[in-house]
Amino acid sequence: MLFHVTMEVKLPTTMPAPEADKLKADEKILASRLQEQGTWRHLWRVAGQYANVSIFDVADNDELHALLMSLPLFPYMQIAVTPLCRHPSSIRADDR
């Protein structure tokens, strides 16, 4: 299943810089691995915000939920999820 996910990160202003840097580095490692596996299919930054728009390709809602909760920055994110399905007027044979 494909999911459109928006994530806005809101780190506390009181968080020490080394802690924030570690979370960001860990997030980048996991995001890279998930992209290489094809699970995190697309990742775009939202201009002017500490936010992204992503497309995930997972088996179901439960897998997406577990994946999102595993993100190091998850406790500091505001997340919106929209399930996607193929549009009958799409000219693409593959959604990749």
Q: Note the pLDDT tens digit of each residue in 61-94.
A: 999 999 999 999 999 999 999 999 888 898 887 7
Round to whole Å and give the CA distance between 80 and 8.
9
Residue 27 CB contacts under 8 Å (≥ 6 apart), including other chains: 71, 72, 73
* Domains of the chain by start residue, with CATH: 2-84 (3.30.70.1060)
* Cα-trace Rg, the chain: 15
pTM across the whole model: 0.90
At 6-40, the pLDDT tens digits run: 999 999 999 999 999 999 999 999 999 999 999 99
